[in-house]
């Protein structure tokens, strides 16, 4: 019996890392600064858990 295993390379180029970092910062900034009632209510407890001031 012969078993074949497929391998897959993971890209960790500086551009990929920079994109992930920018996306994370953008997500935090948008959810942290949102004043719309829906966004505020959805993110309220998470902001306090992350020590992000919202009031």
Burial-class residue 37 by CB neighbours within 10 Å (0-12, 13-18, 19+): exposed
| Residue closest to 34 by CA, chosen among 44, 22, 24, 25 | 44
1 pLDDT band (50/70/90 cuts)? low
Average pLDDT over residues 31-48: 72
Confidence check: pLDDT of 25 > 80: yes
- What are 51's two structure tokens? 């020590």
Confidence check: pLDDT of 31 > 90: no
Predicted structure pTM score = 0.45
């Amino acid at each position: 019996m012969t078993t074949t295993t497929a391998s897959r390379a993971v890209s960790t180029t500086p551009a990929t890392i920079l994109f992930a970092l920018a996306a994370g910062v953008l997500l935090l900034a948008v959810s942290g600064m949102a004043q719309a009632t829906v966004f505020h209510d959805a993110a309220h407890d998470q902001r306090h858990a992350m020590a992000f001031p919202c009031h």
